[in-house]
Amino acid sequence: MKKKRIVNDLLQSLQEAAAMEKGQLSGRETIRKLSRPAPKWTKKEIKKLREEVFHMSQPLFASLLNVKPANVRAWEQGQRTPDGAAARLLEILSKDSHIADELAPSTIK
């Protein structure tokens, strides 16, 4: 019974592919452009985001970004700059600060 279903699914897929090739059926296609590189962050921008938008300490902000507190400290001192996923996450959080509530819900005491 299971083999018959698999065979029928395969035959149906082949028939659909043939119909698409003949132009009788259109398939779904999603085209995405490559995303632009994440923006470069200055030490002032990072500190402002952490303090004025999220009101977090460096260790708590590091936890939100899933990086070490030493990284946040180095970014804010201008010794290093966030790159890759950290830079993209900073960009996303800067555009929608409510995402932080999903990642690290706050507790009110």
Model confidence over 28-69: pLDDT tens digits? 777 888 889 999 999 999 999 999 999 999 999 999 999 999
| pLDDT the model gives residue 54 | 93
Q: Whole-angstrom Cα distance, residue 10 to residue 14?
A: 6
Q: Ramachandran region of residue 67, left (φ > 0), alpha (ψ -120 to 50) or beta? A: beta
Given a contact cutoff of 8 angstroms between Cβ atoms, the answer to whether 68 and 62 are in contact is yes
Q: How many CB atoms lie within 10 A of CB 38?
A: 17
For the cut 70, the answer to whether the pLDDT of residue 93 exceeds it is yes
pLDDT at 109: 53
Supply the pLDDT for residue 107: 55
Which residues have a Cβ under 8 Å from the Cβ of 33 and sit 6 or more positions away?
Answer: none
pLDDT level of residue 73 (50, 70, 90 thresholds): very high
Q: Are 69 and 83 in contact (CB under 8 A)?
A: no
User: What's the pLDDT score for residue 96?
Assistant: 92
